Amino acid sequence: MPDITHFRPVRGGNVFEETVARLLQIIRLGIVAPGGVLPPERELATLFEVSRDTVREAIASLTGAGFLLAKRGRYGGTFVCEPLPSAAADRARAAASTTATTTDPAHVGTQITDVLIVREVLEVGAARAAAERPVGPAESTELRQHLLAVSSAAPDDYRRLDSRLHLAFGELAGSSSLVTLLAENRMLVNSLLDGIPLLARNISHSNDQHERIVAAVLAGDREAAGQAMREHLAGTAALLHGFLA
């Protein structure tokens, strides 16, 4: 059995995403080596201090992404795949390196962190600024249309429509310079997102968070808009670090 000291409790508001990231860390650090078996769901739920349903959904997502394999029978369990998937993640790690001279994990992890710090500063600021300005009927209708579009998007179109919604907050803030910066950063973020799978539970959670952000902006609640955006970005950051860093 693996050393359970590495199975720390999950904290924060993005429980599913953090659980996925925690399992990926255990896999990628070799705490459970390829071919090895994870502790049972019930034990993982206790160690992570999350529900068993959350553990089950996280395992199912990583099974679909090719990191885990479920085996039934007397010697069954949830096993780490051998070999682990690498191609898409390798491309994203290369994209994360702004110098494109190294794919060293420590360097790439720093580059991912850099992109995500800039993202938080820009997008939390955009949400707060958007909430501070009066939103007219036409702007409100357009924002709700972007929200509806991303919530009903097909998987192949999700990234594009998600990007469009996020840029809309910058537009509502009334700064063309901010929109330009948001767009440039989003291109980098999307190059990272292209290296990880779309997880149905994460998409559902993200859509709920989008609704909270939009509601706060339309209500003119600056603090709620910023906090909702910050929590939303933290979930994405957890997955990116889990899969790529």
pLDDT digits 0-9 by tens, 35-61? 999 999 999 999 999 999 999 999 999
pLDDT band at 206 (very low <50, low <70, confident <90, very high): very high
- In terms of domains, do 98 and 55 share one? no
Tokens 């010697």 appear where?
75
The CATH number covering residue 118 comes to 1.20.120.530
Query: Angle, nearest 10°, between helix axes 200-218 and 222-244?
Result: 160
Q: Please write the tens of the pLDDT for every residue from 207-240.
A: 999 999 999 999 999 999 999 999 999 999 999 9
**Model-level pTM?**
0.84
Per the structure, how many domains does the chain have?
Answer: 2
Assess whether pLDDT exceeds 60 at residue 118. yes
- In terms of domains, do 59 and 92 share one? no
Distance between CA atoms of residues 78 and 71, nearest Å: 6
Assess whether pLDDT exceeds 70 at residue 104. no
Beta-strand runs (E) in the chain = 68-71, 77-80
Using alpha carbons only, give the angle 22, 193, 110 rounded to the nearest 5 degrees: 65
Select from 31, 57, 85 the last residue of a domain: 85
Enclosing domain of residue 55: 4-85
Tokens 């958007």 appear where?
130
Asked whether the beta carbons of 232 and 116 are under 8 A apart, the reply is no
